[in-house]
């Protein structure tokens, strides 16, 4: 969804202080409850899945489980691992959600670390950088709603399904985390383009899932052309679910995330018994298909299912007053902290 500046604090340090005062109760995923293949050790700390375990037991930390309270994430180890490196989140405000959570968690782990934020105002515009000075860790949020370019031309604002010139700004990152989808269905005044172009063909509109698929393939070609030889590690944030339709979790059709205080009891991703009643998001399969066809290995941070269970984790009306109810973004501290624990597991498990 949109980048809404009122959500953005006037400075990260202030944000971090405020966040740290609130009690950080991190829900972790119990990895083993439904998967015999996962070892107990891996379950106890999502962050210690070794390569051996991952390959032998093929524990899919995203596929199944329920929600329990947990507090474990070694932020200092992560900062050390990223010493001298640049980590970049590229995407919409759901990528920003994960970025902000990560900064808060790193700050909680190393509260005395010297940090600088650019721009100093803390505004997201359009690439925001936080640096942990001593360890020289650079963490960037780069705003891109569609991953492909939007170019101002005489005709108007043109969404270029086959161009990623902005990608030059992403080169040089050691870790890249992408996301996209939430802006694709937008129409009306909040749609930030007037035409869609592919090759020499310009159209006023087209099926948005089809457009998303084309753009995702363009993105995949860009990654393969630019990063196959590079040591850059590439991640894609799975599509983040919203909770505006109560029937998706077995409540009345008029229910939204407002007033929800507990997760849905989950058992297994996908369809069938124990699945989230709303089922998978159709664009998940498209994303998986595109990633599977790439030369560069891209790790899917498959957060969709575990987030579908968290109808209780949205800001609702406590979002700065932009929407009546925000059932799209996630509170921080909150669900994105768990995303980052799993991100950490993915980072360390692959090494
Ligand atoms: C800090 O890290 C960046 C990469 O993010 C690197 O280019 C630079 O040389 C490093 N600086 C120092 C002083 O190590
Ligand atoms: C979820 O499971 C717990 C434990 O089995 C149970 O107490 C609770 O009522 C369940 N909640 C729902 C919404 O089914």
List pLDDT tens digits, range 155-206: 999 999 999 999 999 999 999 999 999 999 999 999 999 999 999 999 999 9
Cβ of 138 below 6 Å from ligand 1: yes
pLDDT at 62: 81
| Chain Cα centroid distance, residue 188 | 25
Q: Is 136 in the pocket of ligand 1 (CB under 6 A)?
A: yes
Check pLDDT > 60 for residue 300.
Answer: yes
CA 334 – CA 341 distance, rounded (Å): 12
Does residue 57 register a pLDDT over 50?
no
CA of 262 to the centre of ligand 2 (A): 10
Task: Report the C-alpha gap between 231 and 174 in whole angstroms.
Answer: 7
Ligand 1 pocket residue status of 85, Cβ below 6 Å: yes
Q: Does 167 or 320 have the greater pLDDT score? A: 167
Q: At what angle do helices 93-109 and 12-21 cross, to 10 degrees?
A: 70
3-state secondary structure of 218: helix
- Cβ of 174 less than 6 Å from ligand 1: no
Nearest bound ligand to CA 135? 1
Residue pair 150/40 in contact by the 8 Å Cβ criterion = no
Greatest distance between any 2 Cα atoms in the chain: 61
Domain ranges, ordered by start, for the chain: 5-349
pLDDT tens sequence across 78-99: 999 999 999 999 999 999 999 9
Of 165, 15, 8, 190, whose CA–CA distance to 96 is shortest? Answer: 8
Mean pLDDT of 99-118: 95
pLDDT at 125 over 90: no
Residue to probe by mutation, ligand 1, list 86, 136, 137, 176, most atoms within 8 Å of CB? 136
CA of 84 to the centre of ligand 1 (A): 5
Bridge pairing between strands 175-178 and 86-91:
parallel
CA of 87 to the centre of ligand 1 (A): 12
Residue of the CA atom closest to atom 1 of ligand 1 = 84
- Separation of CA 309 and ligand 2 centre (Å): 13
CB atoms within 10 A of CB 269: 23
Question: For ligand 1, atom 8, which residue shows the shortest CA distance?
Answer: 84
Minimal-distance CA residue to ligand 1 atom 3 = 84
Q: What is the pLDDT of residue 181?
A: 98
- Region of 93 (left: φ > 0; alpha: ψ -120 to 50; beta: rest) is alpha
Distance, CA 77 to ligand 2 centroid (Å)?
Answer: 36
Nearest-CA residue for atom 9 of ligand 1: 84
CA 239 to centroid of ligand 2, rounded, Å? 26
Residue closest via CA to ligand 1's atom 2 equals: 84
C-alpha 330 to ligand 1 mean position (Å) = 32
- Nearest ligand 1 atom to alpha carbon 138: 5
Asked if residue 88 has its Cβ within 6 Å of ligand 1, the reply is no
Residue identifier of the C-alpha nearest atom 6 of ligand 1: 84
DSSP-derived 3-state class of residue 328 = coil
Partners of 115 in beta bridges: 132
Distance from the alpha carbon of residue 117 to the mean position of ligand 1, in angstroms: 16
Tell me the residue length of the chain: 351
Task: Say if residue 296 is exposed, middle or buried (CB neighbours under 10 Å; 0-12, 13-18, 19+).
Answer: middle
Over 90: is that where the pLDDT of 247 sits?
yes
CA distance 341 to 13: 22
Say if residues 288 and 220 touch (Cβ distance below 8 Å): no
Residue nearest to atom 7 of ligand 1 (CA): 84
Query: Which ligand does the CA of 251 lie closest to?
Result: 2
Q: What is the pLDDT of residue 88?
A: 98
Distances (CA, A) of 248 to 244, 273, 306, 309: 9, 14, 14, 10
- Cα distance between residue 301 and residue 182, in whole Å: 16
**Distance from C-alpha of 102 to C-alpha of 118, rounded to nearest angstrom:** 16
> Is 60 exceeded by the pLDDT of residue 265?
yes
Residue 89's contacts (CB-CB under 8 Å, 6 or more residues apart) are: 95, 96, 98, 99, 139, 140, 141, 142, 177, 179
Pair of tokens at residue 12: 């990260």
The DSSP string of 96-162 is HHHHHHHHHHHHHHSTT--EEEESTT----SEEEEEETTTTEEEEEEE-SSSSEEEEETTEEEEETT
Lowest-confidence region among 2-16, 69-83, 211-225, 272-286:
2-16
């Amino acid at each position: 969804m949109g980048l809404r500046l009122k959500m953005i604090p006037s400075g990260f340090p202030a944000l971090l202080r405020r966040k740290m005062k609130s009690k950080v109760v991190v829900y972790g995923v119990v990895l083993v409850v439904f998967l015999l293949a996962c070892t107990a050790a891996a379950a106890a700390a999502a962050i210690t899945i070794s390569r051996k375990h991952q390959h032998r037991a093929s524990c899919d930390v995203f596929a199944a489980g329920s929600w329990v309270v947990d507090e474990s994430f070694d932020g200092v180890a992560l900062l050390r691992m990223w010493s001298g490196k640049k980590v970049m989140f590229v995407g919409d405000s759901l990528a920003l959600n994960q970025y902000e959570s990560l900064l808060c968690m790193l700050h909680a782990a190393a509260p005395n670390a010297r940090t600088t934020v650019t721009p100093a105002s803390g505004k997201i515009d359009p690439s925001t950088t936080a640096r942990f000075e001593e360890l020289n860790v650079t963490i960037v949020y780069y705003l891109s709603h569609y991953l492909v370019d939007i170019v101002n031309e005489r005709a108007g604002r043109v969404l270029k399904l086959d161009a990623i010139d902005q990608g030059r700004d992403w080169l040089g990152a050691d870790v890249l985390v992408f996301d996209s989808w939430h802006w694709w269905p937008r129409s009306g005044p909040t749609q930030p383009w007037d035409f869609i172009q592919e090759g020499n063909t310009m159209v006023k509109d087209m099926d948005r899932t089809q457009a998303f698929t084309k753009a995702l393939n363009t993105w995949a070609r860009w990654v393969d052309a630019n990063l196959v030889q590079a040591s850059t590690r590439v991640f894609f944030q799975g599509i983040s679910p919203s909770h505006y339709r109560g029937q998706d979790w077995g409540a009345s059709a008029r229910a939204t995330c407002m007033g929800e205080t507990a997760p849905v009891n989950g058992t297994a991703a996908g369809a069938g018994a124990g699945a989230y009643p709303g089922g998978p998001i159709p664009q998940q399969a498209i994303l998986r298909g595109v990633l599977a066809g790439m030369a560069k290995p891209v790790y899917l941070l498959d957060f969709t299912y575990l987030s579908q269970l968290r109808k209780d984790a949205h800001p609702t009306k406590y979002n700065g007053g932009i929407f009546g109810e925000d059932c799209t973004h996630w509170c921080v501290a909150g669900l994105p902290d768990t995303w980052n624990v799993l991100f950490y597991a993915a980072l360390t498990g692959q090494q």
